[in-house]
Structure formats: structure tokens, C-alpha cells
Amino acid sequence: MAFELPALPYSYNALAAKGMCQETLELHHDKHHQAYVTALNGFVEAKPELQGKSLDEIILAVKGDAASAPVFNNAGQHWNHILFWNNLSANGGGIPGALEEKIKSDLGSVETFKEEFKKAATTQFGSGWAWLVLTPAGKLAVTKTANGSNPLAEGQGKALLGLDVWEHAYYLDFRNRRPDYITNYLDKLANYEFAEAQLKAA
């Protein structure tokens, strides 16, 4: 069965008042994410050994194989974006109690978490992602990955939040001001309720 582009969990203009305009969502979701899905399906169709595997299984099967880098990148980007769309909310920015307590316990404070996340996202050179993960040891941690990689592939743990820092994610809204995009995400767009649900389900 071919992989499919999931519908956004909100309208294209739902996030405009919070710093992500309709055109950004249309281009990012309908063009960029769709391109990853289309390419991935083409690779899977040409590789019988990948057919019938889940997205997670494909990512783990091809990671580290230089010849399969295009498969890995497109599978990883599909995986990353599925999480990313759920990471955004028109009612974002507020951190619910259980997640806040876990952040304070593991990272020291909400302020420290945001500082670490901003540092990870701004220092990811070129394209990539910043993440809040629940490590295999059961602690929260802030990580980053390059290009289409992700916490699944890197063995970093379960992803609770993931921020796309490729330029197509923010250039229409913030031009070259990646730090402003990151701050806006953490304070206004981040769906911390989703992150808490991911935490509780771990």
C-alpha cells in the first residue's frame, strides 16, 4: 500500500494569526511534504524488499546505507512532517501541568528548556530539525538532527516535539530570521498538549 500525505489537523489559515501564514502551509504541506511522499512511494515500488514495511521499519532498514540515502531522506522527512503538523496549534504555547513538571524535573525549568531548544534549532547548520524527546532512560532531552534524520533513526528516544528548521518552513513569514521563527514556535505555536499526550503514551 502506498504512503499518503495526511490532511492537516486544522485549516490552512488557522495559524496565520500566530505567525504561520496560509501560503506557508500550502507550500510546505501540499508541495514539500507531498514531494517526499511521492518520492518515497517511487523508491518503495522499485525495491521489493521494502514493500509491506511500515514507515518506521523502512527508516530503520535503510539508515546508514549510503546507497539508500535517498530512501532514508524521503522516508525520514515523511515521518518528521507527520509529527510536525501535529506539533502546531492555533491555541499553542501553553504547557500543561504534567509536561511542565516533567520539564522542570529533567531540564531544570521551562526557561532552560526553551533556551536549550532555541540553541539546538539555531545551531543546526543548514537544514534539519530540533526535538524534545523522551530518552530510552525515561528523561526529557533536547536534541537535533540533520536533513531528514530523526530521533527514531538516531536512537534518541520518543519524539514529543519536532521543529523543522529548513528554510521553507519559515522564510515567507520570517525571511532569514530563524531565531524569531523558533521563539514564535515555542511561545505561540507549539502544541504542548500533543507533546504531553505523547509523553503519557510512552
Question: What 3-state DSSP class applies to 143?
Answer: strand
Task: State the binding site.
Answer: 28, 81, 164, 168
Q: How many residues does the chain have?
A: 202
Res 42: pLDDT: 98
Alpha-carbon distance of 85 to 8, in angstroms, equals 7
Domains 21-87 and 97-201 belong to one CATH topology? no
User: What fold, for 97-201?
Assistant: minor pseudopilin epsh fold (3.55.40)
How do the domains of the chain map onto residue ranges?
A: 21-87, 97-201
CATH of domain 21-87: 1.10.287.990
pLDDT tens across 9-30, in order?
999 999 999 999 999 999 999 9
Share of the chain above pLDDT 90, in %: 100
Across the chain, what does the average pLDDT equal? Answer: 98
Specify which residues 132 forms β-bridges with: 142, 161
CB 146 within 8 A of CB 127: yes
142 bridge partner residues:
132
CB 124 within 8 Å of CB 136: no
Strands 158-164 and 140-146, bridge-based pairing: unpaired
Question: 200 pLDDT exceeds 90?
Answer: yes
Residues 17-63 have pLDDT tens digits of 999 999 999 999 999 999 999 999 999 999 999 999 999 999 999 99
Other C-beta atoms within 10 Å of 52: how many? Answer: 9
Sign of the C-alpha dihedral, residues 96, 190, 78, 131?
A: negative
Instruction: Look at residue 1 in the predicted model and tell me its pLDDT.
Output: 80
The residue among 92, 80, 111, 85 whose CA lies nearest residue 193 is 92
**Residue set of the binding site for Mn(2+):** 28, 81, 164, 168
Residue 177: all three cell numbers together: 530570521
> Rounded distance, CA 43 to CA 61, Å?
13
Q: What confidence tens digit (pLDDT) does each residue in 118-143 have?
A: 999 999 999 999 999 999 999 999 99
Cell of 88: 502546531
Can you give the pTM of this predicted structure? 0.98
Instruction: Measure CA of the first residue to CA of the last residue in the chain; give whole Å.
Output: 27
71 pLDDT band, cuts 50/70/90, is: very high
All 3 cell numbers of residue 128?
A: 534539519
